[in-house]
């Protein structure tokens, strides 16, 4: 199954559903469903979400034919982000960013004003 339409058709048939059944569940016309299955156009985000629920399949599989990586978790994303962060900045830059994040909006605004004054005098 090398196309989105073929995967949608496969999932529909694997669930013993007709185009009319899907029409009744989703409101998508049987003509549009047929055209989706024949790769005439791509499904909308709303249709993908409905197919995910109806067929109990992942949107990743519908779009790519591959299941999502089970090893990918919020924790691994956070760790990757932290690794990137720590490799891109000096310790002073990291400390500056962390300190900036602790400021309230008014203090951030004041800091930006100060930085603009310093930068403009530095560039002269």
Give the end of a domain, one of 64, 83, 101.
64
Characterise 58 by phi-psi region: left (phi > 0), alpha (psi -120 to 50), beta (else).
Answer: beta
Can you tell me the distance from the alpha carbon of 44 to that of 59, in angstroms, rounded to the nearest whole number? 11
Same domain, 41 and 18: yes
DSSP 87-102: HHS-HHHHHHHHHHHH
pLDDT at 88 over 90: no
Residue 118 CA to its chain's centroid (Å): 39
Same domain, 114 and 94: yes
pLDDT at 81 over 80: no
Give the end of a domain, one of 34, 64, 94.
64
Q: What is the pTM of this model?
A: 0.57
Same domain, 48 and 94: no
Q: How open is the CA angle 87-88-89, to the nearest 5 degrees?
A: 100
Give tens-digit pLDDT for 51-79: 999 998 999 999 999 876 666 566 666 66
Same domain, 28 and 78: no
Give tens-digit pLDDT for 2-46: 999 999 999 999 999 999 999 999 999 999 999 999 999 999 999
Range of the domain at 40: 4-64
The pLDDT of residue 1:
75
DSSP helix/strand/coil, 80: helix
Same domain, 83 and 56: no
Same domain, 25 and 59: yes
Judge whether 22 lies within some domain. yes
Can you tell me the distance from the alpha carbon of 7 to that of 118, in angstroms, rounded to the nearest whole number? 59
Same domain, 13 and 45: yes
Same domain, 60 and 12: yes
DSSP 56-77: T--HHHHHHSS---TT--HHHH
The pLDDT of residue 123:
75
Q: How many CB atoms within 10 Å of residue 69?
A: 9
Judge whether 60 lies within some domain. yes
Same domain, 36 and 85: no
Count of structural domains within the chain = 2
Judge whether 99 lies within some domain. yes
């Amino acid at each position: 199954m090398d196309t989105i339409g073929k995967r949608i058709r496969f999932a529909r048939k694997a669930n013993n559903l007709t185009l009319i059944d899907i029409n009744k569940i989703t409101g998508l016309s049987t003509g549009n469903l047929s055209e989706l299955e024949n790769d005439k156009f791509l499904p909308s985000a709303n249709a993908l979400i409905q197919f995910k629920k109806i067929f109990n399949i992942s949107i990743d599989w519908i779009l790519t034919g591959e299941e999502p990586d089970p090893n990918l978790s919020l924790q691994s994303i956070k760790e990757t982000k932290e690794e990137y962060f720590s490799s891109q900045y000096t310790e002073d830059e990291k400390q500056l960013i962390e300190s900036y994040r602790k400021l309230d909006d008014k203090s951030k605004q004041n800091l930006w004003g100060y930085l603009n004054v310093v930068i403009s005098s530095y560039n002269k």
